[in-house]
Amino acid sequence: MEDCQYLEKCPVFRYFKHYAQVVYMEMYCQGNYQQCRRYQLRQDGQPVPDNLLPHGGTLWDDQARPPTFD
């Protein structure tokens, strides 16, 4: 299956430890990316918030940001 064209620069992964990154990549980015809410918004030319998860949920509200795992 084909990978998502936005996979390499998708900012949401900096908020996950490695295991969670792998899970989301396998579920959405590597083959099933058309179901990713981030991909859908980007394809529609709309802004994609950093806290938006592939399934459409969010990691935090706009007032609280978690530390990154870079």
User: Rounded to two decimals, what is the model's pTM?
Assistant: 0.67
Distances (CA, A) of 66 to 14, 55, 63: 10, 19, 10
Specify the pLDDT at position 22.
79
**Mean pLDDT per 10-residue interval, the chain, length 70 residues:** 85 74 83 92 95 87 62
Q: Which residue has the tokens 């992964």?
A: 13
Specify the pLDDT at position 63.
65
Specify the pLDDT at position 67.
56
